[in-house]
Structure 1
């Protein structure tokens, strides 16, 4: 029965490795997208500064660029904090689930070992009929299996906790985007008023 434990550990490590690879890939895509956005933003800032003809206009453009950069940094840091918080909570939830599954599997293996040792002891004693030994063994194994199945079913109900984590992350990111949009719109209005557009 220890081969089942080894198989479980191997699969768990494989799943963890795949999850880590997906998260790293996603972070790399975010970094590339942010770099591309930064390049476009710098080009737009250069174009805007080139269009400013007077010192007052250049000061207004510099103020606009500073406000835009501050809003962008705030949005990125809020999004990064939301993602980091989500990942930490997700990791804790995964570890809790793995612990519960391992516990259920350990109990099943212990009960299975007990059923085997009980059957061997009954056979060695020679007092019980082979059919009775078989019936007792099957009853012990069915009991162990049903305990494990019930434990795993209770673990599966933890998916609601994951939905709460996902919704909290989405709400935090949406709030960061809303704040960013509001700050950039305010900066844009101030720039237009200063430039008289």
Structure 2
């Protein structure tokens, strides 16, 4: 009986000894497989997470650009209203000043007329008043034309500046749209997250510097 048990134990030990290298080899060969699975899973998760974050960032980016555009339009309207107000105030002051000068000049004319005793004096005063009135009219016309030219020049500079800004903004938006579309396409095509991020980062930097 003992002999039979000994044989069974011996056979089991021998079998276990033979299986141990095989099991060890199987364990060693399965380790890289598990590592590869973990690596592939991590890469997929990173790509999915990046693309998800990218989609969320895209919405924020478009929202931010829209807000900036609205703020720019609002500022322009405010500046236009302020400018029109200031020009109107200056024009009102100028008109009031001219009106006061006209009153003073009329009073001066009346005093001169009162001192004219002869026809020659009256003719001389009339000639003087005509020349003064002509000079005043010429001067006022020159001032009005100068002011008009100045305001026209300001409008032209403003229009050119706004066109330049609008062009820069439009170019930036277009470049960002292209970069975003490329990133979305890369995400859908299974391009690595690192490559997508680097490509998007480069395109974004280029858009800012353009």
Superposition map of 1:1-150 within 5 A: 1-128=65-192, 130-147=193-210
Instruction: Deviation per CA, 1:8-31: give whole Å up to 9, x if none.
Output: 222222211111111111111111
TM-score normalised according to structure 1 size = 0.68
Looking at structure 2, the residues matched to 132 and 50 of structure 1 have their Cα atoms a distance apart, in angstroms, of 96
Looking at structure 1, the residues matched to 108 and 95 of structure 2 have their Cα atoms a distance apart, in angstroms, of 20
Instruction: Deviation per CA, 1:60-93: give whole Å up to 9, x if none.
Output: 1111111000000011011111211222232122
Looking at structure 2, the residues matched to 144 and 127 of structure 1 have their Cα atoms a distance apart, in angstroms, of 22
Structure 1 runs (4+) deviating above 4 angstroms are none
TM-superposed deviation, 1:37? 0.9
Looking at structure 2, the residues matched to 100 and 17 of structure 1 have their Cα atoms a distance apart, in angstroms, of 21
Instruction: Deviation per CA, 1:88-116: give whole Å up to 9, x if none.
Output: 23212221221121111111111112222
Looking at structure 2, the residues matched to 88 and 144 of structure 1 have their Cα atoms a distance apart, in angstroms, of 34
TM-score normalised according to structure 2 size = 0.64
What residue is the counterpart of 1:174 in the other structure? none
Instruction: Deviation per CA, 1:143-192: give whole Å up to 9, x if none.
Output: 11112xxxxxxxxxxxxxxxxxxxxxxxxxxxxxxxxxxxxxxxxxxxxx
Looking at structure 2, the residues matched to 45 and 115 of structure 1 have their Cα atoms a distance apart, in angstroms, of 77
TM-superposed deviation, 1:47? 1.3
- The count of aligned residue pairs is 146
Looking at structure 2, the residues matched to 3 and 117 of structure 1 have their Cα atoms a distance apart, in angstroms, of 21
Looking at structure 2, the residues matched to 124 and 11 of structure 1 have their Cα atoms a distance apart, in angstroms, of 40
What residue is the counterpart of 2:42 in the other structure? none
Higher RCO, 1 or 2 (CA under 8 Å, sep at least 6)?
Answer: 1
TM-superposed deviation, 1:131? 3.0
Q: Which runs of 5+ in 2 are unaligned?
A: 1-64
Looking at structure 2, the residues matched to 95 and 54 of structure 1 have their Cα atoms a distance apart, in angstroms, of 61
